[in-house]
Structure 1
Amino acid sequence: MPNGGTIIVGLDERAGFATVGVSEPAALEASIASQARNGISPPLQVAFEEAEVDGAVLVVATVNGLPSDQRPCRYGGKAYLRQADGDYVMSEQEVQQILALRQRPRHEAVAIDGTTLADLDDELLHNFLTTARSTSRRLSTQADEDVLRRKAVLAPDGKKLTLAGLYALGSYPQQFLPSLSITAAVQLDPRSGQRTRDLVHLDGPVPALLEGAMEWVQRNTRTAIRFGPDGHGHDEAEIPLVAVRELVANALVHRDLGVHTRSKRVELRLRDDQLIIGNPGGLYGVSREQLGTEGGKSAVNEFLYDICKLTRTSSGTRVIEGEGGGIREVQRALRSASMRPPTFIDKGVSFTVLVPRHALLATDDITWLGETKAAAPLSDVQRQIVTSMRHGQTWTNSLVRKEFAPIDSIQARSELRGLVTAGLAQTSGQRAQTTYSIRPEFLAAPPGSPVPHVIVRPPHIADEPDQDTLPIPELSGGPGSHVSRNAPVVWEALGHGPATLDQIMQRAGLSESQTRYALRTMMDAGFVSVRGGQGVKGTLYTRGQAITGT
């Protein structure tokens, strides 16, 4: 992975990531360091930490990523790509794609054989020239062909179109490069007997591709009722469309346009729980952690980016604003809709964004926010923090930075202190050990009473025994908390029939490790049956036959 990664040794994945520890941490660290230096080419830098958890010692190895001019690294002479839970040997095409990044790529400036000015869309061309002249004094008096050549729509010879010009302004770019398109499909539950619905292959120049993608997303998503701070519901798009538009535009404009990706397209996949947007090629000149920050902007295809800043869709809006603030706008839009921020996955040869389809806040929480008279207005971040506090979650400065990145320590402290000022939260501890929790009078329920079905928890929480301060209710006919702390809520989540791990996590409001631990203990006790197994695609869990009588 371009950004390196972290290895934690001393957890048993088969036991729900239970802590088992390491008997000789120093020897293990020396072994890992030796492997990184001698078994990998070029050698990798690894930093080690030891952590004591439940009386056992864990070894945490942080592997630093390699700079682009040294990638890919190889083990046994082969380069590998991380996909899901496996490592796969990279194809020669993927290796060449990585090697091409060692120098500043200019793939979009390549002249496309067989193209001429006649292959440009007349309306797009007219609007582009008008905008280009109005935004540049030097171009305002120049001839059309000179403007197009200087803006890299035309190749230097003034005869052929560049790849950027064809892609952004061509009447039908796919005549020359079929992969300059979008494939979109709705992924269905495998039990339905069908794999996809509304499979489409969108074509045309970038503005048409963007508009077609937006129409497809709107067609296949619902209108949701969002509850504002006043507790009243309003009809809004299920996924904020401003976020979708920014992410699709980024995928189109920043995709890899090299010869090694000519068979790959931008892809949209809509699942029950999320929208997936993927494009060939990874980040260039910016890390995943920098996305959404002030300095986190870099144009992979610089000429295409510049052209698209001056290109309008049929509705008159720019394809991209060109200010580098698109990711921040995406994060703001999702946060405003009480949804999790997008997940970015950079694999070097591809880039994927996962956009949630469900709001984090339950209706009763939003109603509570509308009815609670805080001493000061709450930000979107504070609303999400305080509702999770309401269900017993304790927050720290570092947890806020992880959950709402990009956000620095000063901003995180301001959000937390604001809740104290508003009279909703209280503090405990001092300096780096300061924790923030809800004032007792605002807890969702007093200790010992049932809590709501949906429990909002940030994902970066240790697993069993978890940090809940309120007990999960025991359900009639199902397992109690003596089986597992989260067994009752998982049992309730299975009340609608067989479900995948993701569906159970969503219904129960638990993290993946919490859900896996609860399922394992419930299977051992006979409360849950499984069809498939860990690592098997489409694995389904259901209430045990001995319990339900089915």
Structure 2
Amino acid sequence: MLDVELAEIVDNLRTIGTDIADVEVKKAHGGLPKSLRETLSGFANTRGGVVVLGLDETQGFAPTGLPDPARLAADLGSMCSEDMEPPLRPLIKVHDFEGAQILVAEVPELDPARKPCYSRGAGITKGSYVRVGDGDRRLSAYEVQMMLSSRGQPREDEQIVSGVGLDHLDAAMVDALVARLRTSRPYAFKDLDRLAVLRRAKVLVTGDSGEDVASLGGLLALGRYPQEHFPQLMVTFVHYPTETGGRSTERFLDNVTLEGPVPVMVRDTLATVRRNMSRRAVVGGAGRQDVWEYPETALREAVVNALVHRDLSGGARGAQVQVEMYPDRLVIRNPGGLFGPVTVDSLGEEGVSSARNATLIKILEDVPLPGEIRTVCENRGSGIRAMLDSLLAAGMSPPDFNDKISSFVVVFPNHTLLGEETVAWITGLGEKGLTDSQCVALALLRQEEILDNRAYRNATGVDSRVATSELRDLVARELVTQTGTRRWARYQLSWRTTSTKGQSSRADRRPELLVALGNETLSRAELVTRTGLSDQTIRRWLKIMRDEGSVDIVGSSLKSRHVRYRRTYQDLLFHSEGTDRD
């Protein structure tokens, strides 16, 4: 880590006033803190993080220094390699910071195939932690098991269901699957008879006595009534009248249990949610239109994902997929967190996909939803992106994804992101040329106060390069302000957008720049110093003024960091003549 990056981290901590999820600060005057093993485990099992020793949080993160930083660095390296399993190899460095020496360790996140990381002295069950907020939380035994299952491909969906044969499957669904497989995948299935097709697709597997029995995946995909054998592998829907749930004389507005094979549960869950939804007005390019509270595509993808990616291991078969509707949100929860290399940060990125129940999903690729041509799932890694795009098209906020290891939760906020009042507010900013994604970001910032590059990408669907460019443009327009850089960059609304009554006058910086230039030739850095404006804002207005012909570059090309600027002869002459006339 560079000194400038450390300075940015500490500035961010001082602004927030406390530790954050990926930074842990300790004074460490008496040596390595006992709780450091928990933090190392938490960082390695979550998203990685930075340990800073030698700062005092109670004194505004002032540097207290370390009596023997070299020895402390050696002790920390020893703790990581000898006390942690698997051993950790953080980047450890002593920094001179504000007149004192402090120790910084960058702890990387472990590959999912090596998690969980735990303290050897406490053991895997009691010594495994995750990072939650600014603290470390011990993993439950079930969560440890979930992490261990990610080290390989789970096979629960291929397990035999004793006593359940072909007669327990829906004959019409089975025939449709066989016909589709012979057509869509002729190389593997064209020349096989009906039973051979079902065996190769792993709908049927060999039982303990050598007979054909249904696999768990086959039963869930095609069974006539899978809940006869697994009562909790279902969906429950509850519609609460208040935002807090049951605190009402009318406890539920609707309370439904959805059963059957996965295709039927998807169909019936969507119908139930639709029955409980209202319509609202949204302002778009074609004017005002009425739409459902939640887009059908987003709901379908979320429900399908919850059913096909849920944990099917023995410890989770007593838990169902839950759908909860509140006045302000819709919550969809399934047992089992994200599997494999997929993370909350990578959800929605092109080509990022991982299947916990690979056999179940493979079967459902060729099983249509009841009454439709489309199949239950595609297994192409495009579902989350389709969900985000449909919400964006409806002018809604992106969902909140929460991976809790033992469960995965999707929360859809129930509000129109670009409603009439918000559109009027953006129009009142007086800025021309804003992209649709920038308008979405401004609306989000108005509601949520802070965004980073990842949140911008998730909300708008643009890639990282476009997100960076558009955020810089918003900073240059003085619509948002930036704190921190690189991975620490955060954005919030500026003074312009939070002025009286939510309106702001457009800031024209040309007069200030012309005065600052005078008759001199100055660099951008010198203009930043003279005006107090940000470099992005200076850069933007200099381009506008070059295009208008009031400013010229001198000497170097625009790509050179040494480029300098001056007022043009025509501009000086115009203002001189104006003064003479006055």
Report the Cα offset of residue 22 of structure 1.
5.0
Question: Of 172, 182, 206, which aligns to 2:262?
Answer: 206
Judge conservation of contact 1:22–1:59 (CA < 8 Å) in 2.
no
Report the Cα offset of residue 414 of structure 1.
5.0
Residue by residue over 1:21-72, the C-alpha shift from the partner in whole angstroms, topping out at 9 and shown as x without a partner, is: 4533798985876765565433445457999999999998654333334333
Distance in 2 of aligned mates of 1:416 and 1:434: 10
The answer on 1:296 being equivalent to 2:347 is no
Structure 2 length-normalised TM: 0.63
Report the Cα offset of residue 181 of structure 1.
1.0
Partner of 2:161: 112
Partner of 1:501: none
Label 1:224 to 1:19 Cα distance change in 2 as closer, same or farther (>3 A).
farther
Distance in 1 of aligned mates of 2:376 and 2:272: 17
Any idea what SS the aligned residue of 1:234 has? strand
Distance in 2 of aligned mates of 1:167 and 1:346: 24
Label 1:67 to 1:387 Cα distance change in 2 as closer, same or farther (>3 A).
closer
Any idea what SS the aligned residue of 2:214 has? coil
Distance in 2 of aligned mates of 1:100 and 1:26: 44
Partner of 1:360: 417
Q: How many residues align?
A: 438
* Rg comparison, structure with higher value: 2
> Map of 1:222-241 to 2, 5 A cutoff?
222-230=278-286, 232-241=287-296
Distance in 1 of aligned mates of 2:489 and 2:304: 41
Q: Which runs of 5+ in 1 are unaligned?
A: 453-468, 470-550
Distance in 1 of aligned mates of 2:284 and 2:183: 41
The answer on 1:319 being equivalent to 2:376 is yes
Distance in 2 of aligned mates of 1:50 and 1:343: 38
Richer in helix (by share): 2
Partner of 2:501: 450
> Map of 1:358-507 to 2, 5 A cutoff?
358-367=415-424, 378-379=435-436, 381-386=437-442, 399-405=452-458, 407-415=462-470, 449-451=500-502
Label 1:427 to 1:114 Cα distance change in 2 as closer, same or farther (>3 A).
closer
Partner of 1:143: 193
Report the Cα offset of residue 403 of structure 1.
2.5
Report the Cα offset of residue 167 of structure 1.
0.4
> Map of 1:534-549 to 2, 5 A cutoff?
none
Any idea what SS the aligned residue of 1:404 has? helix
Question: Of 146, 150, 170, which aligns to 1:101?
Answer: 150
One-letter amino acid of the structure 1 residue matched with residue 405 of structure 2: G
Distance in 1 of aligned mates of 2:177 and 2:269: 22
Judge conservation of contact 1:108–1:304 (CA < 8 Å) in 2.
yes
Question: Of 167, 183, 192, which aligns to 2:220?
Answer: 167
One-letter amino acid of the structure 2 residue matched with residue 101 of structure 1: S
Any idea what SS the aligned residue of 1:450 has? helix
Residue by residue over 1:73-123, the C-alpha shift from the partner in whole angstroms, topping out at 9 and shown as x without a partner, is: 334221456597786654544433433333322211111101111111123
Distance in 2 of aligned mates of 1:281 and 1:270: 21
Partner of 1:305: 361
One-letter amino acid of the structure 2 residue matched with residue 122 of structure 1: A
Judge conservation of contact 1:342–1:355 (CA < 8 Å) in 2.
yes
Report the Cα offset of residue 384 of structure 1.
1.6
Label 1:365 to 1:107 Cα distance change in 2 as closer, same or farther (>3 A).
same
Report the Cα offset of residue 304 of structure 1.
0.9
Judge conservation of contact 2:86–2:114 (CA < 8 Å) in 1.
yes
One-letter amino acid of the structure 1 residue matched with residue 456 of structure 2: E
Distance in 2 of aligned mates of 1:360 and 1:238: 12
Label 1:176 to 1:51 Cα distance change in 2 as closer, same or farther (>3 A).
farther
The answer on 1:74 being equivalent to 2:118 is yes
Q: Which runs of 5+ in 2 are unaligned?
A: 1-41, 504-532, 534-582
Distance in 2 of aligned mates of 1:427 and 1:360: 21
Give RMSD over aligned pairs.
Answer: 4.5
Residue by residue over 1:467-505, the C-alpha shift from the partner in whole angstroms, topping out at 9 and shown as x without a partner, is: xx9xxxxxxxxxxxxxxxxxxxxxxxxxxxxxxxxxxxx
One-letter amino acid of the structure 1 residue matched with residue 197 of structure 2: V
Judge conservation of contact 2:320–2:335 (CA < 8 Å) in 1.
yes
Distance in 2 of aligned mates of 1:184 and 1:281: 19
Identity within the alignment, %: 31
Judge conservation of contact 2:457–2:464 (CA < 8 Å) in 1.
no
Structure 1 length-normalised TM: 0.66
Report the Cα offset of residue 205 of structure 1.
0.3
Distance in 1 of aligned mates of 2:237 and 2:93: 44
Judge conservation of contact 1:108–1:257 (CA < 8 Å) in 2.
yes
One-letter amino acid of the structure 2 residue matched with residue 180 of structure 1: L
Distance in 1 of aligned mates of 2:174 and 2:406: 32
Distance in 1 of aligned mates of 2:475 and 2:63: 41
Question: Of 60, 64, 67, which aligns to 1:23?
Answer: 64
Residue by residue over 1:144-170, the C-alpha shift from the partner in whole angstroms, topping out at 9 and shown as x without a partner, is: 111111111111456101111100110
One-letter amino acid of the structure 1 residue matched with residue 261 of structure 2: P
Label 1:439 to 1:46 Cα distance change in 2 as closer, same or farther (>3 A).
closer
Report the Cα offset of residue 226 of structure 1.
1.4
Residue by residue over 1:394-426, the C-alpha shift from the partner in whole angstroms, topping out at 9 and shown as x without a partner, is: 99xxx34443247544222454588899x9989
